[in-house]
Amino acid sequence: MGCAGVRPAQTEFTPSGCRWCGVAKHDHLQRWTAQAGWHTWAPPTQEQIKTRMRARAAARAAGATR
């Protein structure tokens, strides 16, 4: 099945997920992204939290109207 450390791309980020990759703090350990390279969990900016919360609400609203 592939590497244990490789996960499918995230389609929805946790509002309080990592600043660089969006992964929740308790699931993070070390991750790699093109922007940050190998990194540990870093708190998101207030703007990222706001944007992620709005995106999550919009996705839920779209799912509720189907």
Where exactly are the structural domains of the chain? 14-27+42-66
Within 6-64, residue ranges assigned H as helices are 25-28, 46-64
Residue 63: per-residue pLDDT = 86
Sequential pLDDT tens for the chain (66 residues):
333 444 445 556 789 999 999 999 999 999 999 999 999 999 999 999 999 999 999 999 998 665
Residue 4: per-residue pLDDT = 43
Residue 10: per-residue pLDDT = 54
State whether the Cα torsion 40-42-48-49 is positive or negative. Answer: positive
d(CA 64, CA 27): 28
Q: Specify the pTM.
A: 0.71
Dihedrals φ, ψ of 29, to 5°?
55, -115
CA distances from 31 to 13, 16, 27, 52 (A): 15, 16, 10, 20
